[in-house]
């Protein structure tokens, strides 16, 4: 059977196109050989489970270690019930150890029930290490699922046994999860016992992450499909897939799967950038589980404190932002590029996040795409803007009040309106400029003669600040120059307490700036 692109669960090289997992775990074997305990944190669906299941299998087959991959996921319902949580972890070890030779397996969980749960995991690991002919290595995945007193107990038992490695305790242990070790404390209720140290896992030597695919690895993965089926990914298509996903493994696989399993099943048909764009739009509109789980995080206060200023183009000034930014990075929503600059992790997330936040408003907008499409197939931008002005006067205030992110509420309403119309055949590119107080939108509307571009710059007139008109014109001018356009739209939202009523301040004007035609919307 031909292998396929996997988007659910760990990869299996017999079934799925995949890259060598250890390539993205540089230095891990050295940590194990040196008897180190370490933490692996990475966003969901980047390949943590695949990497460590594969590594455990290889280490055991090489005859150097009794290596076990196991999961703590079943401990989550137990919360602070240490007895239930520890026993579920030991039972998971039993189940996962069935892949090991009998003589290398840990002691059965049920034989240890008489031991106090605060010592039971330690006793199991100690007994296993004594009886094993090979040094023991354990990878505990989903450590995030262990909560409250249960997490304290698990970490303390590992710390207690650590000094006895490798003779009577595992040579190496990895704790694998979504969060870095610094965030383990947020999994513990404030009223529970202390971990007894400033660090929740102070025996760890390294805190590592699993990187995304590099550009050449995206091509390598896609070429596996070409080798097995003959279906060609054009080079430009592979480059676009990299640009849209920035190598996020689930997105890379999901784009390809959408195309080869749903959009183009004819293996003689080459895959072009147009198909990549169409697949991207299908993923965004369908909001598969991976994207939905990210969207669900957007309403967490810690996430909002980071994402909202990025979308608004403002500086991240909150004094709690350092830890929050690290947390949102661990979720995979943002990344640091160009030094310390924070930005949304990839263009697909850049589309998904504002669309998700504006989805409720978009569903209530009773305007149709066909009303704004000319006979030649182009979009009537002027009529579209005039319609929005009318809509804004009637519905702007209540819709802004209903938006989850107050600071960018007007942006969300405008984007919801535009998305409602553009979904009929085009796309909207979004750019956020942190510290420059702006958001740039580019409507791309395909028609029979090519692709129509319309550029909009969104700015806010905030309290105690001067009118941002001049700054906005300069910024829009640079944006138009980059897009090679000579006309654009500047949208100024007046959020000052002393601003006139929405019916009085809302208007459209036409300006000239640096030889270009500018449509100004004051809202």
* Interval 366-412: pLDDT, tens: 888 889 999 999 999 999 999 999 999 988 888 888 888 888 899 99
Question: Is the residue at 435 inside a domain?
Answer: yes
Out of 286, 313, 337, a domain closes at 286
Collapsing DSSP to helix, strand or coil, 81 comes out as coil
- Residue 234 confidence (pLDDT): 97
pLDDT tens digits for range 398-408? 888 888 888 88
Question: Is the residue at 57 inside a domain?
Answer: yes
pLDDT tens digits for range 463-500? 989 999 999 999 999 999 999 999 999 999 999 999 99
Query: Can you give the CATH number for the domain in which 224 is found?
Result: 1.10.8
- Residue 433 confidence (pLDDT): 65
Question: Is the residue at 451 inside a domain?
Answer: yes
pLDDT tens digits for range 174-189? 999 987 765 565 555 5
- Residue 84 confidence (pLDDT): 96
Residues 187 and 133 in one domain: yes
Residues 371 and 505 in one domain: yes
Element (H, E) at 507: strand 507-513
Out of 234, 254, 286, a domain closes at 286
- Residue 197 confidence (pLDDT): 47
pLDDT tens digits for range 343-371? 899 999 998 898 888 887 888 888 888 89
Question: Is the residue at 342 inside a domain?
Answer: no
Residues 189 and 259 in one domain: no
CB-based burial label for 226 (10 Å; 0-12, 13-18, 19+): middle
Residues 194 and 237 in one domain: no
What is the model's pTM?
0.86
Residues 397 and 426 in one domain: yes
Q: Could you check whether the bond before residue 166 is cis, i.e. omega within 30 degrees of 0? A: yes
Residues 32 and 118 in one domain: yes
Question: Is the residue at 336 inside a domain?
Answer: no
- Whether 138 contacts 173, CB under 8 Å: yes
Residues 165 and 259 in one domain: no
- Residue 317 confidence (pLDDT): 59
Q: What angle do CA 163, 168, 170 make, to 5 degrees?
A: 75
The rounded percent of the chain whose pLDDT value lies above 70 is: 93
Residues 276 and 402 in one domain: no
Residues 62 and 189 in one domain: yes
Query: Can you give the CATH number for the domain in which 70 is found?
Result: 3.40.50.300
d(CA 389, CA 523): 8
Question: Is the residue at 339 inside a domain?
Answer: no
- Residue 184 confidence (pLDDT): 60
Residues 138 and 170 in one domain: yes
Out of 243, 271, 286, a domain closes at 286
Residues 396 and 271 in one domain: no
d(CA 35, CA 17): 33
User: What number is the average pLDDT over the span 66-92?
Assistant: 95
Question: Is the residue at 497 inside a domain?
Answer: yes
d(CA 134, CA 494): 69
Domain count, the chain: 3
Strand 438-447 versus strand 450-461 pairing type: antiparallel
Query: Six-digit token pair at 259?
Result: 């195309």
Question: Is the residue at 353 inside a domain?
Answer: no
The rounded percent of the chain whose pLDDT value lies above 90 is: 64
- Any idea which residue has 């038992």 for tokens? 157
Helix axes 82-96, 148-162, angle to 10 degrees: 60
- Residue 2 confidence (pLDDT): 86
Q: Which domain holds residue 391?
A: 360-522
User: What number is the average pLDDT over the span 498-508?
Assistant: 92
- Residue 439 confidence (pLDDT): 85
Residue 340 has pLDDT above 90, yes or no: no
Residues 235 and 91 in one domain: no
């Amino acid at each position: 059977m031909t292998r396929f692109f996997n988007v659910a669960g760990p990869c299996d090289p017999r079934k799925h196109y995949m890259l060598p997992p250890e390539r993205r775990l540089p230095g891990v074997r050295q940590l194990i050989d040196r008897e180190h305990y370490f933490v692996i944190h990475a966003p969901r669906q980047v390949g943590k489970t695949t990497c460590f299941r594969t590594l455990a299998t290889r280490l055991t087959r090489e005859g150097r270690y009794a290596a076990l991959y196991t999961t703590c996921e079943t401990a989550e319902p137990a919360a602070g019930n240490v007895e239930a949580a520890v026993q579920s972890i030991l039972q998971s070890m039993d189940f996962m150890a069935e892949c090991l030779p009998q003589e290398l397996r840990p002691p059965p969980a049920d034989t240890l029930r008489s031991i106090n749960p605060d010592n039971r995991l330690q006793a199991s690991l100690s007994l296993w290490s004594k009886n094993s002919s090979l040094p023991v290595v354990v990878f505990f995945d989903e450590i995030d699922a262990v909560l409250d007193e249960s997490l304290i107990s698990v970490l303390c038992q590992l710390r207690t046994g650590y000094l006895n490695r490798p003779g009577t305790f595992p040579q190496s242990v990895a704790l694998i999860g979504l969060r870095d070790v610094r965030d383990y404390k947020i999994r513990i209720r404030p009223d529970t016992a202390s971990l007894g140290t400033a660090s929740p896992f102070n025996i760890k030597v390294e805190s590592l992450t699993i990187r995304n695919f590099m550009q050449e690895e995206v091509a390598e993965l896609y070429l596996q499909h070409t080798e097995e089926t003959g279906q060609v990914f054009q080079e430009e298509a592979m480059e676009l897939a990299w640009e849209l996903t920035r190598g996020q493994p689930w997105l890379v696989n999901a784009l390809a799967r959408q195309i080869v399993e749903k959009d183009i099943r004819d293996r003689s048909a080459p895959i072009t950038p147009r198909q990549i764009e169409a697949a991207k739009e299908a993923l965004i509109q369908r909001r598969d589980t991976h994207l939905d789980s990210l969207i669900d995080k957007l309403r967490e206060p810690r996430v909002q404190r980071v994402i909202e200023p990025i979308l608004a183009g403002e500086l991240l000034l909150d004094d709690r932002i350092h830890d929050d930014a690290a947390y949102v990075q661990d979720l995979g929503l943002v990344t640091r590029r160009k030094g310390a600059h924070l930005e949304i992790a990839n263009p697909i997330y850049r589309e998904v996040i504002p669309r998700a936040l504006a989805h409720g408003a978009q569903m209530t907008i009773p305007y149709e795409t066909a009303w704004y499409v000319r006979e030649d197939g182009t979009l009537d931008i002027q009529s579209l803007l005039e319609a929005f002005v009318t809509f804004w006067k009637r519905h702007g205030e209540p819709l802004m009040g209903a938006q989850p992110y107050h600071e960018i509420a007007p942006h969300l309403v405008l984007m919801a309106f535009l998305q409602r119309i553009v979904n009929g055949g085009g796309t909207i590119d979004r750019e956020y400029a942190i510290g420059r107080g702006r958001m740039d939108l580019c409507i791309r509307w395909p028609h029979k003669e090519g692709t129509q571009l319309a550029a909009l710059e969104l700015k806010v007139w905030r309290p105690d600040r001067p009118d941002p008109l001049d700054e906005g014109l300069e910024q829009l001018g640079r944006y138009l120059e980059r897009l090679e356009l000579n006309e654009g739209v500047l949208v100024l939202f007046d959020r000052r307490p002393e601003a006139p009523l929405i019916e009085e301040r809302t208007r459209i004007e036409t300006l000239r700036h640096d030889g270009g035609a500018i449509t100004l919307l004051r809202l």
